[in-house]
Structure 1
Amino acid sequence: MKEYILENDKICIKFLDYGGIITAIIKKSNNINYVLSYEDFTNYERNPYYFGATIGRTAGRTFPPNYKNSKGDVINLDINEGLLNLHGGNEGLHKQYWDVSLINKDTYELTYNDTDSHYEEMLLKIRYRIEDNSFILEYFGFSDEPTVCNLTNHTYFNLNKDKRDGIEEHWLQMTPTKLQIINDTSVPTEEYSDMSSKYYSSFDFTEKRKIGDAFRISNELSKICADGIDLAYIFDTDLPEIVLQSFDKENVLRITTDRECAVIYTLNKINERLKIKDGGIITKYNGITFETQERPNHLQTKSHPLISHYHARTKYTIE
């Protein structure tokens, strides 16, 4: 695997051709890397935590693990978490090598022709671009027949210099959202909450609050989420914004997207003790990811989930 660099006088972005994995988003004024990365790059070959990876062909959890193609045939997907399909399966886009081309000094394009997966053939492109203090990520998909495409990026953010300090004390705020309810096996349902009730209120970040306020809550939803956050937030506006701040508010990340939701996951399940840069051994709550995408399980809940052309855009502004 090869690492590539995009930089200007304000930010530096590093990524791999393997999985399109983002290994660094650096704020140059104080040399803080906003993301978690493995110390040993060979860990990206297995990548049990999906660090920095491109996720697809369909992000999130799908149950039942299948879909109907344009002819009405049921296409079975591989099962890689309990009884469901997670993040496109065992050999998803996070496990593929992408062809990388330099478009100009501010833009790289990654290309992968997905011909060997469960899904219909699709030509996929990722565009990584920097503009002032912003990193812009765009996905494109082109297929001759309707197929599955719901991509996201799984970068974990931690705005501390010392990554041994987790994200419990980070501040989080986002535009108004609804919470997608999950069942006891974490499968997303078609029920939603505005989080006005006490049961859900700890997961509401409409007003700025510490992320750790949502941890270790004594209710069933918290237990399903392994005492953290592992939930889809559905945006109530076409121009949503997510703002993450370090405890001292010195480092700020602003995320805007054209996607309808963001799945927020706070690294609640640690199964392998791997070393990360600037932080020793990975621990619970070491980082937080914002997986901007179509709402989870849309293959089973959306009336027309198949598409021939795909485009998605998310912007990360580093302050």
Structure 2
Amino acid sequence: MKVSTKVFGEINNQEVHSYTLKNNKGIEVTCLTYGCIISDIRMPDSKGKTESIVLGFDTIKEYQDYSPYFGAVVGRVAGRIKGGSFQLDNQTYDLNKNEGKNHLHGGLDGFDHKLWEATPIEKEDCSGVEFTYLSKDGEEGYPGNLLVKVTYTLNNNDEFTISYEGSTDQKTLVNLTNHTYFNLSGDAKRTVLDHILKLQSSEFLELDNDLLPTGEILNVADTPFDFRKGHNIREGVESDNLQNILVGRGYDHPFLLDHTKEQQISLYDPLSGRKIDIDTDQPAVVVYTGNQLTEDFEIRGSASQKYLGICLETQGLPDSVHHKHFPSCELTPNETYKAVTKYKFSVYNNV
């Protein structure tokens, strides 16, 4: 399978390249050297019409001016870090604060703003791109030189895989994710309110007013957070549950995955027939339903609006450095950070 490439734009006199992976079933994935951004995923619907199923832009300037992390790899640490500081081995590290008094998604100039080195991968049964970036000691306040590798691959079984690796020369924090906004209606013609989400998750994290975990782990039973049998996004948006209201009516919550043999995460749009099944080795997925999307920009000709996309951010638990009962995101020089998430695209013709 081949990889096609072209110049997408320019930042600080450096070219930004796009890479497009295409399989023999009509699935296309386009990604950028800027922020490791997945700028487009295209797939057929139940009637064979191929459209985009993610939110993105056609120019670098739009990504710089408007993007709420559309399609980007975020890090070093995904999510919020309370107070923009943490302690490792009794030493305090102060991070850049880019959301009030807190640190969000790697800071002011996180991985989503970086130019990554890229190497195409072309094999008989798959194609992909390997991205690498060296985050230097002290970047955004984090300790250690962290070498990161992110690999995107697409095969002829309609499977798209994201693999992450990281190594450091000093103890540090690492928790990476991809921040793609999915909309299976095609070309963002509808919101995701009637998308059906199914999660193999019995518990989720309670959030405080800053959208930080309180440390409490709540049971999903008898709440709009119970997606074990699947239900639409609208249920949470219209809910009077205080946690739904807190985040702007919807979801912006970490769900702990049960890691059963069933598909861990499924997203389905009944009208288009498009479906994505997601498996990951990560302990959680943050479900964000675009509650904070504003209306002051366009997305490839469509006006932005709340609930126009849903993010399914597979990762470790946010702010784990302040909650010792959460799985740790600390990385030492004798360890390698590894994470894998696989997306399976399919179409149902009974619509």
Distance 1:238 1:153 in 2: 23
Q: After superposition, what is the alpha-carbon deviation per residue over 1:234-272, rounded to whole angstroms, capped at 9, x for unaligned? A: 112266611111122610011110000000101111345
Structure 2 residue aligned with 1:63:
82
Distance 1:315 1:93 in 2: 21
Report the CA distance between 1:30 and its aligned residue. Answer: 3.0
Structure 1 residue aligned with 2:21:
6
- Equivalent residue in structure 2 for 1:282, among 284, 295, 304: 304
Structure 2 residue 125 is the aligned partner of structure 1 residue 100: no
Distance 1:236 1:93 in 2: 29
- Equivalent residue in structure 2 for 1:73, among 71, 91, 106: 91
Structure 2 residue aligned with 1:88:
106
Structure 2 residue 351 is the aligned partner of structure 1 residue 311: no
Aligned residue pairs total 314
Report the CA distance between 1:39 and its aligned residue. Answer: 4.2
Structure 1 residue aligned with 2:318:
296
- Equivalent residue in structure 2 for 1:209, among 222, 225, 231: 231
Counterpart code for 2:151: R
Report the CA distance between 1:216 and its aligned residue. Answer: 3.1
TM-score between both structures, scaled by the size of structure 1 = 0.93
181-190 vs 266-275, which moves further = 266-275
Report the CA distance between 1:144 and its aligned residue. Answer: 1.8
Distance 1:266 1:305 in 2: 25
CA RMSD of aligned residues (A): 1.8
Structure 2 residue aligned with 1:174:
199
Distance 1:84 1:302 in 2: 19
Structure 2 residue 63 is the aligned partner of structure 1 residue 36: no
Structure 2 residue 139 is the aligned partner of structure 1 residue 112: no
Counterpart code for 1:24: D
Q: After superposition, what is the alpha-carbon deviation per residue over 1:167-198, rounded to whole angstroms, capped at 9, x for unaligned? A: 0011111113311001122111211111224x
Distance 2:269 2:54 in 1: 13
Structure 2 residue aligned with 1:251:
274
Stretches of structure 1 lacking an aligned partner (at least 5 in a row): none
Q: After superposition, what is the alpha-carbon deviation per residue over 1:24-48, rounded to whole angstroms, capped at 9, x for unaligned? A: 1121553122211124442112444
TM-score between both structures, scaled by the size of structure 2 = 0.85
Report the CA distance between 1:316 and its aligned residue. Answer: 0.8
Distance 2:72 2:42 in 1: 17
Check conservation: 1:173, 1:209, Cα contact below 8 A. Answer: yes
- Equivalent residue in structure 1 for 2:39, among 23, 43, 52: 23
Name the structure, 1 or 2, with higher relative contact order (CA <8 Å, separation 6+).
Answer: 1
Distance 2:187 2:269 in 1: 12
Distance 1:154 1:141 in 2: 18
Check conservation: 1:39, 1:275, Cα contact below 8 A. Answer: no
Change in Cα spacing, 1:238 to 1:86, as seen in structure 2 (3 Å) is farther
Report the CA distance between 1:217 and its aligned residue. Answer: 2.1
Counterpart code for 2:242: E
Q: SS of 1:103's equivalent? A: strand
Q: SS of 1:64's equivalent? A: helix
Distance 1:43 1:75 in 2: 33
After superposing on structure 2, the runs of 4+ consecutive aligned residues of structure 1 that deviate more than 6 Å are none
Structure 2 residue 246 is the aligned partner of structure 1 residue 235: no
Structure 1 residue aligned with 2:292:
269
Counterpart code for 1:263: V
Q: Sequence identity, in percent?
A: 31
Change in Cα spacing, 1:45 to 1:252, as seen in structure 2 (3 Å) is same
Distance 2:245 2:33 in 1: 37
Counterpart code for 2:64: E
Distance 1:182 1:210 in 2: 22
Counterpart code for 2:110: G
Q: SS of 1:214's equivalent? A: helix
Distance 1:57 1:46 in 2: 22
Report the CA distance between 1:162 and its aligned residue. Answer: 4.2
Distance 2:145 2:345 in 1: 36
Check conservation: 2:175, 2:329, Cα contact below 8 A. Answer: no
Structure 2 residue 160 is the aligned partner of structure 1 residue 135: yes
Stretches of structure 2 lacking an aligned partner (at least 5 in a row): 1-15, 347-351
Structure 2 residue 178 is the aligned partner of structure 1 residue 153: yes
